[in-house]
Structure 1
């Protein structure tokens, strides 16, 4: 059996769940690599990563390099004498880093590779209406998410599940996958499978303002999937337009009802209790949303505090 000395690399909450599992299973963690602190929000207050907070709370050795090719960083990383590196939700590593440990560097990715390589695999699985997803561990190579697969774990996606809910389930499933991978490596039983390549593979593109905006000409089920695939973060959005007033509105909990109607897609119909937005093949019942400068609220709460005209629409 190989005695593992691990360097862990990661940044967000998802990575913390995996790190916590490794730590609580008594593996030796000789160092943590995470993103540098950076200003965030309107006040530009300095923000630290979730992984940094965990490392400090547990007195783990912490490095925050701005340049992964910097010679001083590489020397410090080498001095940790790790024989394995584990990467979860970090960034692309230079060859000098991923080739450093004797036993290699493996990554946990939140999809069933080779599908959904890229930055936002959990979101895109839901946005695209997938009925299953999972996690994959693989040894890193010189491209993004293309390395030899060690193992996969699969799970179904419920048709009402949000990305927030799936994120937490995959974090738990990922913890199991990483523990199983560590066991295989320390017992010298890890075998790998080369990823298949195809022009039909789906990509987990980085999320941006453009691909989070709702297109009301799409079928209602596609819009519904987009909204739940971006709930709670970063949230699907649209404009509410009422005469000369225009608001950038984020949509969260919604229900889709398929129906025949004569309304234009994007038309908003409301009562004192409900807010509906019509699609080409039905309507969305909006349960919660957020107006600019306001907190997320229930639709009924919004309707109690604002008056719209009958001409209001989403676009």
Structure 2
């Protein structure tokens, strides 16, 4: 049996969430024989070709990088096979065919930003906050055919504080996931993990985390103020919840909810033109603290109201 340092590991990942795990493995002394990431794509004002966050880190550290357009391409499969990996790690990467994830003798391990089996899907961090959860976490598990359903290896809980939004929870889970991954690989090398099949939780008790599209970010002001506040938190800073104000869309990044009876029509707004802008919800008000009107920069409410005529 190989030690942690002897295991030949291929790492798959793309965004900065994955960089934390790759860095943690490398700092711990793992033998990363290659990094697989997305092809370069145009980015920035000049739309110059730019590598992913994972590629930039890998290149800086002198790690070999593969960027297949197709995961099923025969030439990529052969490149991967030639690496003779013992284990593959996947963090924030696209779907992989079985020919890839089933290749190494120790299989492929994924890091997911939830306590599986809850929040299977592409956006677990957003949905946990949007649903008003108080606890989230990270899970390491083995890949299999059905998405996010493989045997659980290890889990770690992370508290969701009232002031957390998607951005802050993302950072906490990113670091927790990196730490948990290193522990997982070390214990796999030592043969010290008992895999746990994901329990057959009734569908009615499962919360899912599907990808979020623009149509999911429009605020429904007929909902309770607390739910709207959680939605704003769960979508901030990206992709951001939005509403319409004077026929222009406005993204809301920070807000406060106040539950109180009123006679205002949900969705109508009220302002003193200097310190507050609030929207009526079903059972109270949402006070906007930070926003960005279409075509303008992000700003605090006082700065925004200086130029607002409503």
Q: Name the TM-score, length of structure 1 as normaliser.
A: 0.94
Determine which of 203, 224, 232 is the counterpart of 2:229. 224
What is the CA–CA distance in structure 2 between the aligned matches of 1:17 and 1:214, rounded to whole Å?
33
Match of 2:111 in 1: 108
Determine which of 288, 292, 295 is the counterpart of 1:293. 295
Matches within 5 A, 1:296-315: 296-308=298-310
Residue 265 (structure 2) pairs with residue 260 (structure 1) = no
Determine which of 77, 84, 92 is the counterpart of 1:81. 84
What is the CA–CA distance in structure 1 between the aligned matches of 2:271 and 2:172, rounded to whole Å?
35
Deviation at 1:99, TM superposition (A): 0.9
Aligned residue pairs total 304
Matches within 5 A, 1:155-304: 155-197=158-200, 198-200=202-204, 201-241=206-246, 246-271=247-272, 272-304=274-306
Deviation at 1:44, TM superposition (A): 3.9
Deviation at 1:26, TM superposition (A): 1.0
User: What's the secondary structure of 1:86's corresponding residue?
Assistant: strand
Structure 1 unaligned segments of length 5 or more: list them: 309-315
What is the CA–CA distance in structure 2 between the aligned matches of 1:42 and 1:204, rounded to whole Å?
32
Matches within 5 A, 1:44-63: 44-63=47-66
Deviations 1:152-206 (Å, cap 9, x if unpaired)? Answer: 1112211221111101111111112101101111111222111123212111010
Determine which of 4, 7, 13 is the counterpart of 1:4. 7
User: What's the secondary structure of 2:169's corresponding residue?
Assistant: helix
What is the CA–CA distance in structure 2 between the aligned matches of 1:39 and 1:223, rounded to whole Å?
35
Q: Give me the CA root mean square deviation.
A: 1.2
What is the CA–CA distance in structure 1 between the aligned matches of 2:285 and 2:68, rounded to whole Å?
49
Q: Name the TM-score, length of structure 2 as normaliser.
A: 0.95
Residue 99 (structure 2) pairs with residue 127 (structure 1) = no
Deviation at 1:43, TM superposition (A): 5.3
User: What's the secondary structure of 2:203's corresponding residue?
Assistant: coil
User: What's the secondary structure of 1:210's corresponding residue?
Assistant: helix
Deviations 1:183-233 (Å, cap 9, x if unpaired)? Answer: 111111222111123212111010100111111111111100000001111
Deviation at 1:240, TM superposition (A): 1.1
- Select between 41-50 and 203-212 the one with higher mean Cα deviation: 41-50
- Select between 152-161 and 248-257 the one with higher mean Cα deviation: 152-161
Deviation at 1:39, TM superposition (A): 2.6
Structure 2 unaligned segments of length 5 or more: list them: none
What is the CA–CA distance in structure 1 between the aligned matches of 2:245 and 2:29, rounded to whole Å?
53
Match of 1:312 in 2: none
What is the CA–CA distance in structure 2 between the aligned matches of 1:145 and 1:95, rounded to whole Å?
14
Deviation at 1:40, TM superposition (A): 4.0
Match of 1:64 in 2: 67
User: What's the secondary structure of 1:302's corresponding residue?
Assistant: helix
Deviation at 1:285, TM superposition (A): 1.1
What is the CA–CA distance in structure 2 between the aligned matches of 1:55 and 1:270, rounded to whole Å?
50
| Segments ≥4 residues shifted beyond 2 Å | 39-48
